Amino acid sequence: MIDPLASLIAASIAFVGTHFAMSHPLRAPMVGVLGAGGFMIAYSLVSAATMAWMYFAFVATPAGAPLWGDFGDGVWIAASIVTLIAMVLFAGSLVGNPALPAPGAAQAARKPAHGVFKVTRHPMMWGFALWALAHLIAAPTPRTIVVTLAIGVLALVGAHLQDRKKEALMGDAWQQWEAKTSYWPRLHRLFSIGLLPWIGGIAIWLGATWLHSMAAGVWRWI
């Protein structure tokens, strides 16, 4: 019988590896064979299958004891703050994001940085990475470490590779965007991003922590 933790490690490698492969070196050949629509179907099926493998392997792996620290209130407060920041960045990334494949992306990249893009040009990716960090802080068990490392690598290496891809696809427009923005988050600018990302982020944070399998966020103390 396969050890559940070994299965989780394999699933995480498969999830991250197939994502990188299909997003970059295999994308053009696959589109050439399958067409754009066929590629998106194949990409979605592989992503869903490897994510499902990760989920079921995670559930099958015993939680175990944390490898460091404990589950005290101080740890949960820190994790809750990091998660809130992650949700604010994620919420703000859904509007006016030149990295998303939408009409007008080049025009958006030529505009001044606004909202969460004052913090980083990769708010969605950093949102995922900070979400992973929060879970690593709160529950540093073997199974959580595997998943959070996978998500962190996918987000941060993916953001770097996205820059290279967008430079090739969007040329001068993306280079202008890079000159106005930062890969690394400038968190001191969080209070200059406007109200909407905060409202959206807090709403997502409250909903996600309420639905969490363990009491999390403010719900831990209510």
Phi, psi of 33 (to 5 degrees): -85, -45
- The pLDDT tens digits for 99-114 are 998 888 899 999 999 9
- 10 neighbors 151 (Cβ within 8 angstroms): no
- 201 neighbors 124 (Cβ within 8 angstroms): no
What per-residue confidence (pLDDT) applies to 163? 95
- 200 neighbors 91 (Cβ within 8 angstroms): yes
d(CA 96, CA 86): 18
Position 131 confidence tier, pLDDT thresholds 50, 70, 90:
very high
Whether 212 has a pLDDT exceeding 90, the answer reads: no
d(CA 177, CA 173): 6
Whether 153 has a pLDDT exceeding 80, the answer reads: yes
What per-residue confidence (pLDDT) applies to 75? 87
CA distances from 46 to 1, 8, 58, 169 (A): 24, 16, 18, 24
- The pLDDT tens digits for 157-172 are 999 999 999 999 899 9
Whether 183 has a pLDDT exceeding 90, the answer reads: yes
Residue with tokens 């994620």: 90
Whether 72 has a pLDDT exceeding 80, the answer reads: no
Position 126 confidence tier, pLDDT thresholds 50, 70, 90:
very high
Residue with tokens 């992503």: 47
d(CA 145, CA 151): 10
Helix, strand, coil percent values for the chain (each to nearest 5): 75, 0, 25
Domain ranges of the chain: 1-61, 65-221
